[in-house]
Amino acid sequence: MARATTTREFMLGEGAGTGAGSQNIHVGVGPAHPAMHGIIRIQAELDGEVIVKADVEIGYLHRAFEKDCEVGGWNNAIPYTDRLNYVSPLINNFGYASAVEKLLGIDITERCKYIRVITSEISRICDHLTCIGASAMELGAFTVFLYMIKAREFLWELVEDVTGARLTISYGRVGGVKADLPPDFGDKMRAAFKQVREVLDEVHRLLTGNRIFMDRMVGVGVLSREETIAYAITGPLLRAVGVPYDVRRAQPYYVYDRLDWEVPTQTAGDNFARYLVRMAEMEQSMRIAEQALDQIPGGPINVDHQGCPIDPATYVDQGKQGKTEGLLLVPITLSPNLQGSERHAHQRVNAADKRVVLPPKETTYGSIEGLMNHFMLIMEGYGIRPPAGEAYFAVEGANGELGFYVVSDGTDRPYRVRCRPPCLPPMAALHRMIEGEMVADLVPTFGSVNMIGGELDR
């Protein structure tokens, strides 16, 4: 067996693949390079401006995501999932929560399924807008970047209305979600989608037939259908070679099988095909979210027997004084960070399972049973305790199949958490996409992969 070439040998031209007297030069691109995001290093062997050989290194952003998840309780992992693909964190939240729910045998409410679909698709659009905008900017199309970020801002305002945050949202929960949709969410979403569609039309006019853009993208970074499948690549890169695989269609979850939508594909397998797939997917995501919003079921809304809500402090004081008659029927006025988790909303978006779901605030503040239930779920050594076993659940992330494998030993914290990141297989195949190309083509090809560091290097 041939000895592996060391980094020093590669850079000095002493290893296999570089003959004696070779005039090839060795260039390290990144990690301190704008296009490498500060976390990727590509060691390239160049014959003039042609990349003869490339070695892609990751490892500059390792954050021990999986081991961190095994330190705290089952719900404590939710903020860590935000930091995987931080451009579309809602999908990460729901993928992890669904794996734990599968382990527990929990079926979430119908309204929660629709909320997860709607917010996941909004996140997917944000991810594609960022990918295309940043890639275009790296090719000199700065106007496109500004337009795409403007469109993303409309959607991030929606995300902020629902979750209370824009990026690290921590909205998912095992058994449901943090809070219900705001009352005016539907109107805001439709207005935002109208603006996003206008931006996409503008970008199509600026880029899709642009001679400079097409020269840099068409026929560049090609990966064949066979190699794409062999590297276990999923998502837009797989659909760009003509394989219509999408987890939402192949293994339907939530309510995706009840909605009418298409899986966009291309056949060329180059950077331009990946661009077209993502542009088409954004329209399909809006189509999915609009249908889900039209079909979303309501839920029971309790009527206040006194006709007026009270603040939490007064609520607690009345309970301490023994003035509990009708107290649990009185709506509570929550602070902005807790709004949407009132009892009527809580019942619509969370599973009716006291083993995993925190009680609504009215119940926590107004009854000893609710207070005990709350504390049992958050106290050290108690909390959510799935039966011993293992489960795997996959969702369609913005970059492909995002899977979570969880193992329980019956305690209040995971024995093992494993993430299947969609970014890793394309990065393993990146050297195949850039070898034989010009060194200038490295940037658009790397951009088309849409590598997200937190997800890639967990």
d(CA 111, CA 197): 27
Identify the domain boundary among 326, 355, 378.
378
Residue 448 lies in a domain: yes
pLDDT (0 to 100) of residue 305: 32
pLDDT (0 to 100) of residue 63: 83
Query: What does the pLDDT look like over 154-182, one tens digit per residue?
Result: 999 999 999 989 889 999 988 888 888 88
Query: What does the pLDDT look like over 236-279, one tens digit per residue?
Result: 999 999 999 999 999 999 999 999 999 999 999 999 999 999 99
Put the strands of the sheet holding 25-29 in their side by side order. 25-29, 41-47, 50-57
Same domain, 131 and 195: yes
Determine the 3-state secondary structure of 105 from DSSP. Answer: coil
In eight-state DSSP terms, residue 302 is: P
Region of poorest pLDDT, from 14-28, 70-84, 185-199 = 14-28
Same domain, 351 and 214: no
Domain count for the chain: 2
Same domain, 229 and 104: yes
Query: What does the pLDDT look like over 185-197, one tens digit per residue?
Result: 999 999 999 999 9
pLDDT average, residue stretch 88-114: 92
Region of poorest pLDDT, from 32-36, 217-221, 279-283, 434-438 = 32-36
Nearest residue to 349 via CA among 114, 100, 161, 95: 114
C-beta separation of 304 from 329 below 8 A: yes
pLDDT confidence of 347, banded at 50, 70, 90? confident
pLDDT confidence of 62, banded at 50, 70, 90? confident
Pair of tokens at residue 51:
């990349």
pLDDT (0 to 100) of residue 212: 92
Residue 3 has pLDDT above 70, yes or no: no
d(CA 114, CA 100): 19
Highest mean pLDDT among 37-46, 282-291, 378-387, 446-455: 282-291
Query: What does the pLDDT look like over 365-377, one tens digit per residue?
Result: 767 777 788 777 8
Query: What does the pLDDT look like over 427-447, one tens digit per residue?
Result: 999 999 999 999 999 999 999
Residue 8 has pLDDT above 60, yes or no: no
pLDDT (0 to 100) of residue 6: 56
Pair of tokens at residue 149:
């970020």
Same domain, 107 and 123: yes
Identify the domain boundary among 326, 348, 378.
378
pTM: 0.84
Residue 67 lies in a domain: no
Same domain, 222 and 365: no
Pair of tokens at residue 178:
């943090």
Could you tell me the residue range of the domain that residue 240 belongs to?
Answer: 77-298+386-456
d(CA 224, CA 237): 10
Same domain, 253 and 178: yes
| DSSP-derived secondary structure for 241-268 | TT----HHHHS--TTGGGS-------SS
CATH of the domain at 203: 1.10.645.10
d(CA 101, CA 173): 10
C-beta separation of 124 from 412 below 8 A: no
* 360 vs 252, higher pLDDT: 252
Residue 394 has pLDDT above 90, yes or no: yes
The mean pLDDT value of the chain amounts to 85
Residue 38 lies in a domain: no
Cα distances from 70 to residues 92, 377, 407, 446, in angstroms, run 17, 17, 10, 32
pLDDT (0 to 100) of residue 15: 47
Query: What does the pLDDT look like over 330-342, one tens digit per residue?
Result: 666 666 766 667 7
**Which runs of consecutive H residues, i.e. helices, occur in 70-184?**
78-82, 89-104, 110-138, 142-163
pLDDT (0 to 100) of residue 9: 55
pLDDT average, residue stretch 384-402: 93
Pair of tokens at residue 80:
């860590």
Supply φ then ψ for residue 382, to 5 degrees: -115, -115
Dihedral sign, CA of 179, 184, 186, 192? negative
Residue 180 lies in a domain: yes
Determine the 3-state secondary structure of 41 from DSSP. Answer: strand
pLDDT (0 to 100) of residue 306: 40
Identify the domain boundary among 378, 399, 417.
378
Same domain, 242 and 345: no
Residue 211 has pLDDT above 70, yes or no: yes
Map tokens 């991030």 to a residue: 156
Residue 24 lies in a domain: no
pLDDT (0 to 100) of residue 267: 94
391-429 b/e with 16+ CB inside 10 Å = b?
bebbbbbbbbbbbbbbbbeeebbbeebbbbbbbbbbbeb
Nearest residue to 413 via CA among 76, 101, 65: 76
Residue 95 lies in a domain: yes
Q: How many residues does the chain have?
A: 458
Residue 370 lies in a domain: yes
pLDDT average, residue stretch 400-405: 95
d(CA 136, CA 130): 10
Residue 58 lies in a domain: no
Same domain, 230 and 327: no
Nearest residue to 129 via CA among 191, 238, 203, 218: 203
Same domain, 128 and 102: yes
pLDDT average, residue stretch 356-360: 81
Cα(first)–Cα(last) distance of the chain, in Å?
Answer: 31
d(CA 406, CA 96): 9
Supply φ then ψ for residue 254, to 5 degrees: 50, -120
If DSSP states are collapsed to H, E and C, what string results for 398-436?
Answer: CCEEEEEEEEECCCCCCCEEEEECCCHHHHHCHHHHHCC
Same domain, 338 and 429: no
The bridge status of strand 50-57 relative to strand 416-420 is: unpaired
